[in-house]
Amino acid sequence: MDLDEGNGIAGLERGADDYLARPLSLRELVARTRAILSNQPNVAGASPHGVKPRGYSFNGWTLERRSRIMRDETGDPVALTKSEFALLFAFLEKPQEIVSRLDLMQAVRLNLDTMDRSIDVSICRLRRKLQNSPGAPEAIETVRNLG
């Protein structure tokens, strides 16, 4: 086994998607990159080649990442504060996962004092903005003692 083959095997075993030995062909690099990107999960607003997503869609809402604009199901913009945007983005980056209070505070860049309740106020305001109707399920759910 030569050195390049050993490096390739070690990299792939550690979780790399692919390995290219030198000298490499530019056409091969482009073809491999497209193949890897086409296997990535498609996020709303992603380009056909999987380049950085422009935004997210969820429960009739859309969040445009670059412009930081949230739109309701009719396309009307809904104003978000910086902390509300940061919280919503943190939730959307980890869908169906429990996000810890500490992670949320870091996302909003708050003082990491665990007794600080300002994160709770921001989440409450964000919940109100996301609540379409009184009987609709909550978009943000609190899991006691976890996040």
Q: Residue 107 is part of a domain; what is its CATH number?
A: 1.10.10.10
Same domain as 60, residue 125: yes
8 Å CB contact between 129 and 80: yes
Look at the pTM and tell me if it is higher than 0.85: no
Q: In which residue are the tokens 């670059």 written?
A: 66
C-alpha distances in angstroms, 40 versus 26, 57, 97, 142?
22, 17, 19, 29
**pLDDT at residue 44 is higher than 60:** no
- Domains in the chain, number: 2
Of residues 135 and 24, more confidence is placed in: 24
The total number of residues shown for the chain amounts to: 147
Strands 77-78, 61-64: pairing is unpaired
Q: Cα–Cα distance between 113 and 125 in angstroms, integer? A: 20
Region of 57 (left: φ > 0; alpha: ψ -120 to 50; beta: rest) is: beta
Does residue 59 share a domain with residue 28?
Answer: no
DSSP 54: -
Domain presence at residue 145: no
Q: Taking Cα atoms as reference points, which of 125, 51, 60, 140 lies closest to residue 94?
A: 140
Confidence band, pLDDT 50/70/90 cuts, at residue 134? low
Q: Which amino acid is at 31?
A: A
Residue span of the structural domain in which 28 resides: 3-38
Tens digit of each residue's pLDDT (9 = 90 or more) over 3-30: 566 777 777 777 776 777 777 788 888 8
